């Protein structure tokens, strides 16, 4: 009988930034596949609503743990709460991230540091905290969420692009060092994804979303389309894949002859 790679029964996943967007979509997918899920973000009310939604839809256990993932003490409490509740940690999704864009000439050192704190330090803190437990159980899957900005850069986002590039290299080195313990680490570089917050921001910025010629598939992606890759990386279907960054971005953008 072929194994069912979609079955996560008995596994425990922590998803940061789990109250909205890609994080919530990922938590819902894990729960529907039988995993117990712990979601973390700073906004307690939003997080509790998300956890209730996950539980209602899937019948799975979903624990909301309000956490500032930039704070080492709070990350330690998140990991300990997960262990107290479920006894193990099989999957860590470092999804919390983001930044406000602005030109390099006006970029303050505070904005630079804030971007690295959220997009790199937080992933380091969470990875470092779950590492001893995954090492002890000789298994684990870590999935970090990066961006196209970390691969190709974005003007107005020197801080964000550099931080996401650093996250991708952190993923590579984590995979190299911890592979001998049965731990895999991979990264998803998300493109233009139409989460609720992103769509609202595009509307405020009056971006014209009707012409997306720079994206071969001609549309933004959805949070579920990113979550699909996250769940794949965490599954046994990806048991021999580690240290990789895969773009979920609707295809490559390139110059050349115009489309007919």
Residues labelled as active-site residues? 160
* Residue 1 token pair: 């009988």
Which of 170, 135, 38, 46 lies closest to 92 in space, CA to CA? 38
Which residues, in sequence order, are CB contacts of 227 under 8 Å at separation 6+?
22, 25, 26, 28, 29
Which of 183, 173, 179 lies closest to 137 in space, CA to CA? 183
**C-alpha 111, offset from chain centre:** 21
Contact 90, 61 (CB under 8 A): no
Q: What sign does the dihedral 166-169-171-174 (CA atoms) show?
A: negative
Distance CA 144, CA 128 (A): 13
Which of 211, 105, 90, 231 lies closest to 158 in space, CA to CA? 105
């Amino acid at each position: 009988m072929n194994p069912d790679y979609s079955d996560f029964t008995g596994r425990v996943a922590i998803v940061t930034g789990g109250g909205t967007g890609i994080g919530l979509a990922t938590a819902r997918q894990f729960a529907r596949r039988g995993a117990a899920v712990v979601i973390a973000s700073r906004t307690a009310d939003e997080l509790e609503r998300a956890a209730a939604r996950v539980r209602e839809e899937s019948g799975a256990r979903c624990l909301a743990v309000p956490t500032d993932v930039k704070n080492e003490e709070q990350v330690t409490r998140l990991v300990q709460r997960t262990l107290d509740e479920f006894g193990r940690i099989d999957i860590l999704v470092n999804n919390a991230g983001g930044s406000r864009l602005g030109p390099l000439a006006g970029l303050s050192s505070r904005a630079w540091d804030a971007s690295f704190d959220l997009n790199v330090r937080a992933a380091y803190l969470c990875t470092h905290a779950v590492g001893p437990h995954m090492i002890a159980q000789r298994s684990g899957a870590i999935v970090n969420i990066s961006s196209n900005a970390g691969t190709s850069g974005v003007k107005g986002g020197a801080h964000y692009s550099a931080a996401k590039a650093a996250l991708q290299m952190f993923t590579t080195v984590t995979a190299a060092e911890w592979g001998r313990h049965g731990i895999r680490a991979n990264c998803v570089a998300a493109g233009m994804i139409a989460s609720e917050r992103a769509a609202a921001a595009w509307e405020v910025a009056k971006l014209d979303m009707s012409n997306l010629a720079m994206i071969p598939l001609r549309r933004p992606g959805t949070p579920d389309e990113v979550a699909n890759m996250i769940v794949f990386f965490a599954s046994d279907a990806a048991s021999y894949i580690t240290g990789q960054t895969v773009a979920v971005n609707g295809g490559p953008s390139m110059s050349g002859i115009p489309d007919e």
